[in-house]
Chain A
Amino acid sequence: MAEDRFDLVVIGGGPGGYVAAIRAAQLGLKTAVVEKDKAGGRCLNYACIPAKTMLHTAEVLDEARNGAEIGVKTSGLELDWDALAGRRTDVSEGLESGIKMLFDKNSITYIEGEGSLTADADVKVGDTVYGADKVILATGSVAQPIPGTEFSERVVDTWGAWSLPEQPKKIAVAGAGASGAEIASAYIRYGTEVILIEMLDQILPADDKDVVRVVERVFKKQGIEISTGTPVENVEPGPDSVKLTYGDNTAEVDYLVIAGGRRPDVDALGLADAGIALDDDTGKIAVGEDQATSNPKVYAIGDLTPGPALAHKAMEEGIVAAEAIGGQPVHPLDRDLIPAGTFCHPQVASVGLTEAEAKEAGLDIKTAKFKLGGVGAGSVYRDRDGMVKLVVDPEFGEIIGAHIVGNRACDMIPELVAVMALEGGYQELARMTHPHPTISEAILDAARAVDGWATHA
């Protein structure tokens, strides 16, 4: 039975879904969001936000621990696990209620339950069918165990890692992408022993080698045991610990964290019945540049669609889809300019191609690197290990890729996104006044370094 009818029903209230719903409401569409768990989705409740809350505590703890050299003496410094867990929950709950407030403010109907498509591509939640002129699918992705393992009390996914009941003595992290590196980086600073295991031949496999080398050096200095080129095998969970092998090594740890891949959360959606085709290469939902699927009534965004599984990609795709549905001119997402950030210590952030990717693409490139220790702020803020690396086209000056490693890398990368999006070259970047003393001056000098005139080199 058809209850209410909406111009747009968004299935999934995560970062892609809520942003799409708000934009649609701004454009005057009668909009509903269907969410089976919590407003804000996994990003806000189980992934990005709780992870960053946990990492912030690790950062403060580490600064305090090493406070003596900057004149901060501490005694009896300890980590209060329950207080940390409490704050993690408070931050997420606060933001979740903020999302609900935004729904109210924009007159968006919030429907709790699991949404699926009917054959007519209306939306069914429980026994109720909601008529929809258009539907946006935004159900995100779920963690996937690595082959030969399954999740259990001792074998946990990333959310399991961020919500352990007590501080573990020793953990192993399988998968050294962004999530795995963040978990390893937080726990080593909490005082837990950490083994970080990566099947590929470098940690942060998607990042530029020069940048990764800096992270690897800091990780080892902090005490993380890194193993690359070694798959995790022979996982044997016991009641209090879990045994595993990686390469020729064996280990017994309190928890094994699997931070491997994610897969689209599509099981409940009923894609086949609604005539929605998948992308041949990725197996994700195929979409056009307006995010429309093969069923013109249905749009898909975020982790359901090809491309990196990143909250900010989902958010911007949500805007594109909502505006297309609202009859606005379509501004397709520039997929070459989606930045990536890893919030380990030091942070890694990038946009565009790595040096290796650019060479593989056959581009004639030039690179320039500049260490954060070269500018004054690097010393002031104890951020000397980091680096800015630019990959540029030497003939026309186009910035092909930018890579930053440092304590504030993720807050610095948007400058490069802006310059690249506006088609500034490194020559323009090299002549933009940067405030002093800030770490951002390293970007200025990196741009100057392309033509060999970095000031502080």
Chain B
Amino acid sequence: MPRLSDSMEEGVILSWLKKEGEAVEVGEELVEIETDKASMVYESDLAGVLEILVGEGETRRVGEPIANVRPDGEAAPAPAVAPTVEETPEPKGGSEAAGTEPPPPPAYSDHPAAEERVRISPLAARLAHQKGIDLGEVEGSGPYGRIIKADIDRAVRTPGPTAPTAGSETPAASLSGEAAKGEVTTVELSRIQQTIARRMAESKATTPHFYLHTEVDMTRAIEVRGAFEAAAAGGAAIPSLNDMVVKAVALALRHHPRANSTYRDGRIEQFSRVNVGVAVAAQDALIVPVITDADRQDLREISAETRRLADRVRSGEVTPPELAGGTFTITNLGMFGVRSFDPVIHGGQAAILAVGEATERPAVRDGQVVAAHLMDLSLACDHRILYGAEAAEFLAEIKANLEEPGLLA
């Protein structure tokens, strides 16, 4: 299982793009893999004949074998997964195999997980055996997920998920509970949804959030957008209000390095680059592509980049590099008619800005009630990094940048 992004720990084989026994060239698309961030096509870095070890839909940790690519004519090495295939593998010349019908599907999909080779140190294996630890429940922390002594020690101290957890109540209680709620449909989460679930729970549970709210007068920003519209030649990107928010935030981040940082091990790491992520709703997932160096791009560039990334997210083509390196996140539900909301901080960042709908509302100017386009901003901050006054100054600068949009272009 190749590592396709920094944070990738395991991947799911979505589909093999080459068949068992087919000839593969270097650089040819081999397999589609779903990671915690996106699904990607992996290109072969070897040439030879493909021998698939892991079936579609199965998950493997990074570093575990998923296939052998044997150079032409070379004898089959002992496969990493013991095959229970009855027929002896026929010798497969590369060119010959390419032209012939693929062999019957191998029996890999029927393999019980227990037959997999376990990477474990001899000492850890002995400890596990004598202490009666089920290796299936132990996650290896050694190279390529090898189970080492420390992992068994940990498993001995904390009984694994085999033990009944709080979720599995006594049958009677769960029966009555289920009955009251009617029939239950269980929805399996995709890999990406599992990751989102874990990270969101972690963020909310471990990050002390506090929230600041403000209202921005977008009247002039809307005028500026109108000017762009009038000046745009056919097809040119017209910056949206959200693009202006991106730019306004990026400029403010430059003056507030604390808001452009992360909290790690009792220290604050401040980033020199301003990379603004923009949350995009994709099929049943929340994806945050990143506009790198947003403070140094002009509005048109930001607009074009945002559009390109959003398209790639929706078509599922976005790649991990396009999702990496964010230092701040903006989330916007204005298009759904949401006035204001309090978001969960993403990616260990110092803060996240929630943007509501810009609507015409009564505003007071010079003692007169007038109609103005007002937009709510809600800034969720990590209180370990940002304190109230500092966060307020940061939010005030964003507001000022949007109300004086001449500064943005």
Given A396-B126, A396-B127, A423-B149, CB of A296 within 8 Å of CB of B267? yes
Given A296-B267, A398-B149, CB of A422 within 8 Å of CB of B127? no
Q: Is A428 an interface residue (CB 8 A)?
A: yes
Taken residue by residue from 400 to 444, chain A's Cβ proximity to chain B (1 for < 8 Å, 0 otherwise) reads as 000000000000000000000011110110000000000000000
Partner of A424, one of B122, B127, B267: B122
Taken residue by residue from 122 to 139, chain B's Cβ proximity to chain A (1 for < 8 Å, 0 otherwise) reads as 111011001000000000
Count of A-B residue pairs with CB < 8 Å: 26
**Assembled-state Cα–Cα distance A411/B124 (Å):** 28
A395 CB contacts on chain B under 8 angstroms: 130
Q: Are B267 and A425 in contact (CB under 8 A)?
A: no
Q: Are A428 and B122 in contact (CB under 8 A)?
A: yes
Q: Is B121 an interface residue (CB 8 A)?
A: yes
**Assembled-state Cα–Cα distance A422/B121 (Å):** 7
For the side of the interface on A, what is the size category? 10 to 19
Given A396-B130, A398-B149, CB of A423 within 8 Å of CB of B267? no
Q: Is A223 an interface residue (CB 8 A)?
A: no
**Assembled-state Cα–Cα distance A428/B126 (Å):** 11
**Assembled-state Cα–Cα distance A20/B121 (Å):** 30
Closest A residue, CB atoms, query B272: A133
SS class, residues of chain B in contact with chain A: helix
A397 CB contacts on chain B under 8 angstroms: 122-123, 126
Q: Are B267 and A398 in contact (CB under 8 A)?
A: no
**Assembled-state Cα–Cα distance A396/B148 (Å):** 13
A427 CB contacts on chain B under 8 angstroms: 122
Closest A residue, CB atoms, query B147: A423
Closest A residue, CB atoms, query B265: A288
B148 CB contacts on chain A under 8 angstroms: 423
- CB contacts under 8 Å to A, within B147-163, are 148-149
**Assembled-state Cα–Cα distance A207/B123 (Å):** 26
**Assembled-state Cα–Cα distance A422/B119 (Å):** 12
Q: What is the distance, in angstroms, from A370's C-beta to the closest C-beta of chain B?
A: 21
**Assembled-state Cα–Cα distance A424/B124 (Å):** 9
**Assembled-state Cα–Cα distance A423/B123 (Å):** 5
B123 CB contacts on chain A under 8 angstroms: 396-398, 423-425
Taken residue by residue from 109 to 128, chain B's Cβ proximity to chain A (1 for < 8 Å, 0 otherwise) reads as 00000000000011110110
A424 CB contacts on chain B under 8 angstroms: 121-123
Taken residue by residue from 371 to 399, chain A's Cβ proximity to chain B (1 for < 8 Å, 0 otherwise) reads as 00000000000000000000000011110
Closest A residue, CB atoms, query B126: A396
- CB contacts under 8 Å to B, within A288-336, are 296
B126 CB contacts on chain A under 8 angstroms: 396-397, 425
Q: What is the distance, in angstroms, from A450's C-beta to the closest C-beta of chain B?
A: 14
Q: What is the distance, in angstroms, from B319's C-beta to the closest C-beta of chain A?
A: 20
B122 CB contacts on chain A under 8 angstroms: 397, 423-425, 427-428
Q: What is the distance, in angstroms, from B405's C-beta to the closest C-beta of chain A?
A: 36
**Assembled-state Cα–Cα distance A425/B130 (Å):** 14
Taking each of B121, B122, B124, which has the highest tally of chain A beta carbons within 10 Å of its own beta carbon? B122
Closest A residue, CB atoms, query B121: A423
Q: What is the distance, in angstroms, from B267's C-beta to the closest C-beta of chain A?
A: 6
Closest B residue, CB atoms, query A133: B272
Q: What is the distance, in angstroms, from B377's C-beta to the closest C-beta of chain A?
A: 33
**Assembled-state Cα–Cα distance A427/B126 (Å):** 11
B127 CB contacts on chain A under 8 angstroms: 396
A428 CB contacts on chain B under 8 angstroms: 122
B121 CB contacts on chain A under 8 angstroms: 422-424
**Assembled-state Cα–Cα distance A164/B102 (Å):** 78
Chain B interface residues (CB < 8 Å from chain A): 121-124, 126-127, 130, 148-149, 267
16 contacts between A and B (CB under 8 A): A396-B123, A396-B126, A396-B127, A396-B130, A397-B122, A397-B123, A397-B126, A422-B121, A423-B121, A423-B124, A423-B148, A424-B122, A424-B123, A425-B126, A427-B122, A428-B122
| Extra inter-chain contacts (20) besides given A423-B124, A428-B122, CB under 8 Å | A296-B267, A395-B130, A396-B123, A396-B126, A396-B130, A397-B122, A397-B123, A397-B126, A398-B123, A422-B121, A423-B121, A423-B122, A423-B123, A423-B148, A423-B149, A424-B122, A424-B123, A425-B122, A425-B123, A427-B122
Chain A interface residues (CB < 8 Å from chain B): 296, 395-398, 422-425, 427-428
| Those 8 A-B pairs whose CB atoms lie nearest each other, nearest first | A423-B121, A423-B123, A428-B122, A424-B122, A396-B126, A425-B123, A398-B123, A425-B122
